Chain A
Amino acid sequence: LARAETAFKTRKRVNLMHLVYQSEENMGIDGGEEEESEEDVEEGGLFRVKKRKVQKSRSLALVDTCKVEVLAGDLVEWGEEDNLESLRHRFITAKPNPENGE
């Protein structure tokens, strides 16, 4: 089991390093801009009219900011008691007062 775990770890590490340093082209961050097909239309021979790319996706990843937007839908889970409880161990008060209803 221990061997499997280390194998898993190393594999995952390679993946992350690879993701950051090797696969520059196919990262999700640039995804939004490449969606539209871009075609050159012949017009009168000399000039080419480039079809305008329509930017469809909206994302802060396309803006120069370090903030990452968490979708409102992803926060709904925090309305559930189980999820709220699952975080309790991260607080210094983890043991002393287990019952503390809202």
Chain B
Amino acid sequence: MAGTTILRFEGHNYLRQRLLLATLSGKTVRIDNIRPEDEDNPGLTDYEASFLRLLEKVTNGCSVEISYTGTTVVYRPGVIIGGKIHHDCPPSRAISYFLEPMIALAPFAKTPMMLTMTGVTNDNVDVSIDTLRTVLLPQLKRYGIEDSIELKISKRGAPPLGGGEIFFRSPIIRTLKPLQYTTEGQIKRIRGIAYATRVSPSMANRTVEAARSLLTRYIPDVYIYTDVYKGAESGKSPGYALTLVAESNTGVLLSSECAFQPRSKSGSAPMDVDQDEAFTKSNGAAAGQGEGGVSSMLVNDYSFPTPEDLGVRTARLLLQEIRKGGTVDSVSQWLNVLFLALGPEDVGKVRIGNLTPFTIQYLRDIKSFLGVTFKIKPDPENRTVILTCLGTGYTNVNKNVQ
């Protein structure tokens, strides 16, 4: 693992995927110019530092060097060990920000990962825990990761204070299975989860009703669970959100989600020194009374006047996603692209609706770390894109051979 080559990158964006790919490939990475222009809070943010600490916990023998100003990080990965880990995520990002890379990392650990995390479970910046559980995890089965995979939401945590808790367990595997998955099929059912915490349970019910009435025109099999949390399980802030998943007869999962987010500035008050307050500062005028952190980067207003509005918005987002098509929805593109590249030395193929900017950069970073170039071919028939690649035959060297 003593890599002599150092991969260099610039900028704070895409930090997670670069660190993840570095860990998987065993390559040392150096990232410069992390917010050098930011006078108030240059360098790493609290959540980025927290993510680095999480990486230190799940690996053995890694080294992280951060420059005095925090604008440069040198990360030399160690061995992925997994095991029992507890991590408190800062409320500036949702738990998913930290969990997503762990889902990709855990199958290649030495021992099965059992991860408990606390923090925000649903917001509009990151993917919600519900989507990870109902959309991302089932997709792992296609790659041969199936037994004893689990994601439990024991407590809900709405922004800004969070207070949610999740438990994630992943099995370990030696190699991934190849995947060729391009048949979209037709949508046979729609499922969903509406949660409410520290608000009236009717908020969740009203959200569900509005979304249902829009979706049942297509298909009668629409079932949306309502999940109301009480007492100790309800986290520190009030909130409600809706997640919808459409499933096709070929097993395609397409999702949409939306969370309620109050507009008031009182929300950010209890948060102590918010690292990326600068975002708010520079956007303050435009964002109105935006709360601190990355949520000020959101363009839409998520302070819905009624829960029905949230329900309709989410249902429409689902229709939008259905129209895009593909066998993989926008929020799970990155995982599929990554696992195809790590897959066996065989042709892997998926169909996607359209490339998101995040996935485009992921493809580039995969090329720099793993040397895999994807063939990207649009299918004019239904305006989807087919991604094809030859896997690298990545093997989990940490797993003991029985």
What residues of chain A lie closer than 8 Å to B332, measured between beta carbons?
66
Contact check, A64 vs B282: say whether CB atoms are below 8 A apart: no
A15 CB, nearest partner CB in chain B, Å: 9
Q: Is B360 in contact with chain A by the CB < 8 A criterion?
A: yes
Of the candidates A8, A28, A92, the one having the most CB atoms from chain B within 10 angstroms of its own CB is A92
Q: How far is the CA of A28 from the CA of B320 in the complex (A)?
A: 22
The interface bits of chain A over 41-57 (1 if a CB of B lies within 8 angstroms of the residue's CB, else 0) are: 00000000010111110
Q: How far is the CA of A55 from the CA of B283 in the complex (A)?
A: 7
Of the candidates A12, A52, A91, the one having the most CB atoms from chain B within 10 angstroms of its own CB is A91
Q: How far is the CA of A86 from the CA of B353 in the complex (A)?
A: 17
Q: How far is the CA of A35 from the CA of B142 in the complex (A)?
A: 43
Contact check, A66 vs B356: say whether CB atoms are below 8 A apart: yes
Contact check, B376 vs A16: say whether CB atoms are below 8 A apart: yes
Q: Is B37 in contact with chain A by the CB < 8 A criterion?
A: yes
B100 CB, nearest partner CB in chain A, Å: 7
Q: Tell me which of A13, A19, A90 contacts B360 (CB under 8 A).
A: A19
Contact check, B39 vs A52: say whether CB atoms are below 8 A apart: yes
What residues of chain A lie closer than 8 Å to B125, measured between beta carbons?
60, 63, 65, 67
The interface bits of chain B over 341-372 (1 if a CB of A lies within 8 angstroms of the residue's CB, else 0) are: 00000000000000111111101100100000
Q: A20 with B364: in contact, given A58-B298, A90-B322, A93-B218 (CB under 8 Å)?
A: yes
The segment from B155-163, B173-181, B377-385 that touches chain A is B377-385
A-B contact count (CB 8 A): 153
What residues of chain A lie closer than 8 Å to B219, measured between beta carbons?
91-93
Contact check, A24 vs B364: say whether CB atoms are below 8 A apart: yes
Q: Which residue of B lies closest to A76 (CB)?
A: B316
Q: How far is the CA of A67 from the CA of B332 in the complex (A)?
A: 9
Contact check, B218 vs A28: say whether CB atoms are below 8 A apart: no
What residues of chain B lie closer than 8 Å to A71, measured between beta carbons?
299-300
Binding site for A on B (CB under 8 A): 12-17, 37, 39, 97, 100, 124-127, 186-188, 213-214, 216-220, 248-249, 279, 282-283, 286-287, 294, 296-301, 313, 316-317, 319-320, 322-323, 325, 330-334, 355-361, 363-364, 367, 373-378, 380, 385
The 5 closest A-B pairs by CB, nearest first: A78-B316, A29-B357, A92-B186, A75-B316, A92-B188
29 contacts between A and B (CB under 8 A): A8-B380, A9-B377, A13-B377, A21-B364, A21-B367, A24-B364, A28-B357, A55-B283, A56-B286, A58-B287, A58-B297, A59-B299, A62-B13, A64-B17, A64-B97, A65-B358, A66-B334, A67-B126, A68-B356, A69-B299, A71-B299, A72-B313, A75-B320, A78-B320, A84-B217, A86-B323, A87-B322, A91-B219, A92-B248
